[in-house]
Each structure stands twice: as C-alpha cells, then as structure tokens.
C-alpha cells in the first residue's frame, strides 16, 4: 500500500502548493458491498490553493450539519466570516463580517452583513437555503440590546435580511438546516456557551441557567416558511431516557451538540452531553423524528463527527473503524476501507453531494491531514502536513472540517498560516474527465 510523505508546512501567502497524493487501492466492505479497486498512478497530485489572506482572519466554520456547502448554487460565491482576531473567544460586542468571496474575480471579498453570534470553531452556522441556493443563506446573530440569539435569512439579490427568526422567551438559533430547506433544528447557544464554550456564544441570554434538565429547552424545529417553532425533545425527556444508565443524571447539566438532519429530512440525530470538562463525561447519541415522535437512544455509539449517508444509514467511528450504521435496525452494516485506510476514524468527515467520496480530516503531530476516498472505485488520495502553528486543541483550535463544493471535485478546508491568522484553502481532486 502506497503512502504519501508528509509535506512541508505552508509558509506565508503562497498562491498554491501542489501536494503529492498517492492513489491507494483498498479492497473493503462497504454499505454497497465489495468493489473493484481503481489504482491511480503514483505521482497524482492534489492542488492546495490559499484563497484568503491576512491580516484579517477568514473562515467558514465547523461542519455542524449535514450537507454544508459553502458555495451557492452556481458556484459563483463562497460565503464565510471575516474577523479581526482568533486568539480569544468573542464577546457580545465582537462583530464578525459576513462576506462573499467572488470566484469569478479572484476571490474578491464583499462584505454583506455582520453578526454577533459566532465562535472560532463553528462560525455562525452558515447554510445556503436549499429552497433558494443561488441567493439566500441562513446565519445566526444576537441582539446587542437583549443578548438574545436568533437566526437570520439573507438574500444576496436583494442585499438585505429578508427574515429573522426571533423567539423572545426561548431564544434559540440554527443548528442545522434540512436539505429541502423547509425547516431547521434550533438549539440554545447561550446554554452551550456555559457548558461547552467552544460551541456557544459567550454571554448570550440564557433562560435555563441553573437547571440541569429543563422542560422548556432541548431540540427545537423551526418551520422556515411560517416561522413557527416546536420543541421536539426536551432535556427533561433526555434525562428520563438516560436515568437507568446514569442514575446521577439529575445532577448533570445537559447540553446538545451536532443536530444532524437525515438526507430525507425525516430524522434528527444529536448528541446529549454533560460533564465535558469534569469526570463522568456523558456523550449519548439519540435520534428523533421531525415531529418529535420516536425518540431513540442509539444502542451502539457512533463516535467522532458522524455523517448521514443515504436513507437510515450513518457513517461514524465504531471500534476505531470508519463504519456504516443503520439507525433503524440498530446494527453496523459495513466498514469503509481496511483498518489502516483512515488513521483517525473520529476525525471530521463529509460526503460529497453524490455520496461517492468520503473526506476525512484529522490532526497528527500539530498538522492537518486528509484522506479522500471513493467508496465505489476504491480510489484514495492523501494530503497533509499543514502546520497548525499550535492551534491543535482547546476552545481556539482549528479543526480539519472539510466541506465539498457542489460538483464534488474540490474541498474547502481551513488552516493557520505563518502570520498566525486563520485562512481558507481549496483542495482540488484531479480532473476525472
């Protein structure tokens, strides 16, 4: 099995690096059954191109939800954030610019709005509206007077926000848009800021402070058209579901991460978590139907950063392998690649829009690395050696977070540069024509 060597770190604003990535054959069991591997010639290269530069920081944010594509429908614009700093958590008065990068004009930056609801890991949960993917995108914001978070819908053609989803008594914001655009999952980012700061908006207004498992907070679903909000599962329900396995649950303040819509939009996956910085950590995977029925604690834990596959299938880490799990039958139905294909199955993963290519980003020795694997042909590329300049862990870390473009031949990836700013890069697959 061929392996590509480590590559030198990116130094300064070089416009592009060509990085060696060897084609790998991996005879493997996948959810589609065995395949005939397609070995690429040695020396195939992936192009890594830096598209933003300091002194300001530019980033899209974390994966956070299934189907996250930074490009609009035509591919003309990439939506992202621009900030003055990434060396501390933002406060309530620290606004970030929401920008469009014009791919037809050398990635020229155009500022279209600002937000006070962001962090350096997840950004502001940007998501092009699947119902209007050419011109509309969702993002989160915070009212500067009340500190209450909300979600906004911006229209590029009109040059303004066309809607704000505000809920004064229980201010929640987007945690994942369904792939038909009809609804989005909404969670309490103020609570997250208290219980796991890296994923929240510090000092936002929280109506649940001091309550371990509130009955009026949990996972909400918001109808994009009507603006109506519904609590589909409460923290109290989750505590009740976990009490048998964790009798001490009432003394463990719960929070939610990774509200992931299935590709059909019928099911939500999420983690119920507690004690992430203390002994007795809880990390429990659940699914629930979009209408709040069929709450289910998964019997097998799907680790890492899971991704929905087709139907009821999910991809994640099980027993240190990149595995395919059927949430309906509650069983593992396949493994992707041999055991050494993915050095870190718990890394950040993303499926291409056609579901053929699986990108896995992980950290090793202070650097970012990527494995990009075709589940049908077995073709695999590796790229890496991207220096993080110390931003490996903690609330200010820079995670790999690969995001596909709409044509499935390039990934938007983050990175740190020698001047210690966070910037955006493209990782291109070879021409498959």
Lowest mean pLDDT among 22-31, 158-167, 227-236, 359-368: 22-31
DSSP state of 201: -
User: Is residue 32 within 8 Å of 338, Cβ to Cβ?
Assistant: no
Peptide linkage before 48 cis (omega within 30 of 0)? no
Per-residue pLDDT, averaged over 288-314, amounts to: 94
What's the confidence (pLDDT) of residue 45?
65
Q: Residue 44: its pLDDT value, please? A: 67
Q: Is 135 left (phi over 0), alpha (psi -120 to 50) or beta?
A: alpha
| pLDDT, tens digit (0-9, with 9 covering 90-100), for 191-205 | 999 999 889 999 999
* Pair 317, 346: CB distance under 8 Å: yes
Q: Which of 8-12, 76-80, 366-370 has the lowest mean pLDDT?
A: 8-12
Q: What is the pLDDT of residues 29-83, one digit of tens each?
A: 344 433 334 344 355 667 789 999 999 999 998 775 788 999 999 999 999 999 9
CA distance 183 to 224: 5
Region 224-243 average pLDDT: 97
pLDDT at residue 26 in the model: 32
- Give the mean pLDDT of 155-183: 97
Torsion of CA 92, 97, 98, 99, to 10 degrees: -170
Mean pLDDT of 199-217: 96
Calpha distance 103→80 (Å, rounded): 13
Q: Judge contact between 432 and 381, C-beta under 8 A.
A: no
Mean pLDDT of the 217-232 span:
98
What is the Cα gyration radius of the chain? 21
Q: State the chain's maximal CA–CA distance in angstroms.
A: 60
Other CB atoms within a 10 A radius of the CB of residue 132 amount to 17
Q: pLDDT at position 303, please?
A: 87
Q: How many CB atoms lie within 10 A of CB 19?
A: 22
For 351-380, give the DSSP string.
Answer: E-TTS-EEEEEEEETTEEEEEEEETTT--E
Scan for tokens 């201010």, then name that residue: 171
Asked whether residue 20 carries a pLDDT value surpassing 60, the answer given is no
List the structure tokens of 303. 């680790």
The whole-model pTM stands at 0.89
Model confidence at 14: pLDDT above 80: no
- Quick count: other Cβ atoms within 10 Å of Cβ 142? 26
Is a pLDDT exceeding 70 seen at residue 287? Answer: yes
3-state secondary structure (DSSP) of residue 238:
helix
pLDDT of 101 higher than 80:
yes
Distances from the Cα of 173 to the Cα of 124, 303, 330, angstroms: 10, 25, 30
pLDDT at 3: 34
- pLDDT for 275 equals 92
Task: For each of the domains in the chain, give its residue range(s) and CATH number, in order of start.
Answer: 19-50+338-433 (no CATH), 57-297 (2.130.10.10)
From edge to edge, which strands make up the β-sheet containing 16-20? Answer: 16-20, 45-50, 422-428, 410-416, 403-404
Q: Please state, in angstroms and rounded to a whole number, the distance separating the CA atoms of residues 364 and 414.
A: 15
3-state secondary structure at position 250: helix
Residue 28 pLDDT more than 90? no
For residue 291, is pLDDT > 60?
yes
Mean pLDDT of the chain: 89
Mean pLDDT on 168-176: 97
- pLDDT confidence band for 432 (50 / 70 / 90): low
Sign of the Cα pseudo-torsion (386, 341, 373, 24, in order): positive
Closest CA to 24 of 39, 43, 36, 10: 39
**Rounded average pLDDT over 186-195:** 96
What is the pLDDT, as a whole number, of residue 429? 93
Q: How confident is the model at residue 144 (pLDDT cuts 50, 70, 90)?
A: very high
- Lowest mean pLDDT of 11-25, 132-146, 220-234, 327-341, name the range: 11-25
């Amino acid at each position: 099995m061929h392996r590509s060597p480590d590559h030198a770190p990116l130094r300064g604003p070089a416009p592009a690096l060509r990085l060696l990535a060897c084609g790998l054959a991996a005879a493997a069991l996948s959810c589609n059954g065995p395949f005939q591997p397609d070995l690429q010639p040695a020396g195939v290269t992936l192009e890594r191109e830096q598209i933003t530069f300091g002194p300001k920081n530019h980033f899209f944010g974390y994966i956070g939800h299934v189907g996250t594509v930074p490009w609009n429908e035509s591919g003309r614009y990439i939506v992202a954030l621009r900030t003055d700093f990434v060396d501390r958590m933002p406060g309530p008065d620290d606004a970030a610019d929401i920008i469009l990068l014009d791919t037809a004009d050398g990635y020229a930056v155009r500022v279209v709005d600002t937000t006070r609801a962001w962090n350096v890991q997840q950004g502001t949960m940007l998501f092009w509206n699947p119902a209007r993917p050419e011109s509309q995108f969702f993002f989160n914001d915070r009212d500067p007077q009340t500190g209450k978070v909300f979600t906004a819908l911006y229209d590029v053609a009109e040059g303004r926000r066309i809607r704000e989803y505000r809920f004064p008594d229980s201010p929640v914001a987007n945690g994942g848009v369904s792939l038909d655009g009809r609804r989005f999952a909404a969670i309490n980012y103020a609570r997250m800021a208290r219980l796991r700061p890296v994923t929240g908006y510090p000092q936002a207004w929280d109506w649940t402070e001091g309550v371990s498992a509130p009955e009026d907070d949990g996972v909400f679903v918001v109808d994009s058209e009507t603006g109506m909000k519904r609590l589909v599962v409460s923290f109290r329900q989750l505590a009740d579901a976990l009490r048998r396995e964790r009798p001490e649950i009432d003394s463990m303040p719960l929070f939610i991460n990774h509200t992931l819509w299935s590709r059909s939009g019928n099911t939500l996956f999420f983690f119920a978590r507690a004690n992430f910085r203390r002994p007795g950590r809880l990390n429990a995977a659940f699914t629930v139907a979009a209408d709040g029925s069929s709450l289910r604690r998964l019997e097998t834990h799907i680790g890492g950063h899971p991704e929905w596959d087709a139907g009821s299938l999910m991809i994640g880490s099980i027993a240190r392998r990149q595995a395919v799990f059927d949430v309906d039958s509650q069983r593992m139905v396949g493994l992707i690649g041999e055991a050494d294909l993915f050095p870190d199955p718990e890394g950040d993963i993303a499926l291409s829009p056609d579901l053929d290519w699986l990108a896995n980003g992980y950290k090793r020795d202070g650097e970012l690395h990527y494995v990009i694997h075709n589940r049908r042909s077995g073709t695999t590329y590796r790229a890496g050696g991207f220096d993080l300049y110390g931003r490996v862990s903690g609330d200010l870390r820079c995670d790999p977070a690969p995001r596909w473009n709409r044509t499935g031949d390039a990934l938007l990836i983050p990175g740190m540069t020698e001047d210690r700013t966070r910037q955006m890069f493209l990782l291109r697959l070879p021409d498959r024509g």
